Chain A
Amino acid sequence: MKILVPIKRVVDYNVKIRIKPDKSGVELTNVKMSMNPFDEIAVEEAVRLKEKGQVSEIVVVSIGPDKAQDVIRAAMAIGADRGILVKTDVPTDLGGVEPLAVAKILKSLIEKEQPSLVVMGKQSIDDDSNQTGQILAALMGWPQATFASKVVIESASLALVTREIDGGLETLQISLPAIITTDLRLNEPRYAALPNIMKAKQKPMETISPEDLGIDLSPRLTLLSLEEPATRSAGIKVASVDELVDKLKNEAKVI
């Protein structure tokens, strides 16, 4: 079976972001960008299924600027077979290409590629939307298993997915084709070995434009402004447990 893995290029999770002085967005020039961590987990899961012999081909898709080729190559170095860049110069964060538009693009690619499974991140760490997989499942009329921490392919038409829910875990059996979104504990992505990074450069990648797919990317949400959150200033250091207990009882009055 074929798996499609949508991957997003985002500001690296270690970067401390800066808001532009005119409050119109986040400063992205000269900022380290990487594959969204949840998408790396999705790629890793697809590769593991392929290594088990349950998957024949892994196609990764990224919607973003030319530079998004880097995350596609990174996914290929982990083991994806083929890449599709849906090239757009519209920003992919904050009021740019939104989850609804991403899902529409993915739908049209699914219709062309006919995968049996889509594995994707639960959330992009820039917009923190946590929507695209669920929207896509609705557009396709497919079942969804979100927040996955374990995936077992039972047959060509069934998968067993354990989900991280509030209060514990839940297991669902879903029919395929389906959408699965990944949570952090699904797996730990491998580091790509140098020979695989070299090999990735030879793998096929095609570039298409959203217009080719006939999809309108205009956003529904307008970003009016972007501000710093209320900052907390550091308080004081206490010298002992006794002093801490005293402060909590008599100053903060929280215990």
Chain B
Amino acid sequence: MSILVISEHSAGGLKSSTLNCVTAALKLSDDVHLLVGGSDIDNIVQMASQIAGVAKVIGIDTPALDHQLPEVFAPVIAELAKGYSHVLAPASIFGKNILPRVAGLLDVQQISDVMEIISPTTFKRPVYAGNAIATVESKDTIKLMTIRMTAFAPASVSGGSASVESGNSSSLGAEGQSKFIKAELTKSERPELPSSKIVVSGGRGVGSAENFSIIGQLADKLGAAVGASRAAVDAGYISNDYQVGQTGKIVAPQLYIAIGISGAIQHLAGMKDSKVIVAINKDPDAPIFQVADYGLVADLFEAVPELTSKV
């Protein structure tokens, strides 16, 4: 039984989501192969070959895969998948975009957001915004699954010595259906939201984009990532990329500080697996206090600057 992991990477290197997938794959088999598709990927293939536990890295280096457009990349993955029992990709935007397209090509029912592997055919996944956990058994011969990153610790980036080979690109999909125009990426010195040990999130209670700097100041003092509720994002206090929740990012840091966030189920879905939750809210009945380990009923404009000065 061999497992194929579709790696997620950018110019900066392999994304940590790939490491979470490797850990999940190693629960299924020792024979874990990593597919790296893109252009100019030598150093990424090199990094991939050093991940502990990876047996083989397959690199497909072609300008056609520059932006890993699913129309071009999915057919290659589908062809390669035929030699594997399971194909894994992270449940990030990247994995969610591409893996179901592979599933369509292979006539397989993908299993989304796997949080626990019980056996090679049985998996647990959250449904209904994480308010229920489903145990599902797959009858497909090839199992395609996206992996919930927070549920699997990252594999070690060193210690491995995988063989490297270059993959067959003969089944690349036709180019031209979809054209990459541009990307506008948020620049931030802060740690990345999904992998940060501490997350400080602000909600509608913060009141304005200017006020959001108090969230940032506390985050900087703690070396934390910044997050937000959807209401804060919708109101334009901060960009969409910071949204935590059912339809945003899933985080599970050591410490999550929710400030001026009421605690709607859609928000809780993205953070309730955090180890320690702190809530600061002026409403003593806010639902967020029902999941908070430490709740502080206070006006955030007084409490947060004080907290920043004292940590």
Say whether A131 contacts B128, CB under 8 Å.
no
Chain B residue total in the interface (Cβ 8 A): 88
Say whether A227 contacts B109, CB under 8 Å.
no
- Stretch touching chain B among A56-64, A74-82, A229-237: A229-237
Considering the chains assembled together, what is the distance between the CA atoms of A235 and B292 in angstroms? 6
Contacts of A223 in B (CB 8 A): 134-136
Minimum C-beta distance from B18 to chain A (A): 13
| Interface contact tally, CB-CB below 8 A | 251
Q: Does B265 contact A (CB under 8 A)?
A: yes
- B282-311 CB contact bits vs A (8 Å, 1 = yes)? 001000011111111110000100110011
Say whether A173 contacts B140, CB under 8 Å.
no
Say whether A234 contacts B289, CB under 8 Å.
yes
Q: Does A220 contact B (CB under 8 A)?
A: yes
- Stretch touching chain B among A109-117, A190-198, A200-208, A244-252: A244-252
Minimum C-beta distance from A58 to chain B (A): 24
Interface of A is mostly: mixed
Say whether A185 contacts B234, CB under 8 Å.
yes
Contacts of A94 in B (CB 8 A): 127, 134
Q: A135-B100, A143-B177 are in contact. Are A229 and B130 (CB under 8 A)?
A: yes
Chain A residue total in the interface (Cβ 8 A): 82
Say whether B139 contacts A221, CB under 8 Å.
yes
Q: Does A123 contact B (CB under 8 A)?
A: yes
Say whether B294 contacts A245, CB under 8 Å.
no
Binding site for A on B (CB under 8 A): 10, 69-71, 74, 92-94, 96-105, 107-113, 122, 126-140, 176-186, 198, 222, 230, 233-234, 239-241, 246-247, 249, 254-255, 265-266, 272, 275-278, 284, 289-298, 303, 306-307, 310-311
Identify 5 residue pairs between A and B in the complex whose beta-carbon atoms are under 8 Å apart, listed by A's number: A170-B183, A172-B181, A234-B290, A236-B294, A252-B276
Binding site for B on A (CB under 8 A): 11, 13, 16-17, 19, 26, 93-95, 98-100, 103, 122-123, 125-139, 142-147, 149, 160, 163-175, 178, 183-185, 219-229, 232, 234-238, 240-242, 244-245, 247-248, 252, 254-255
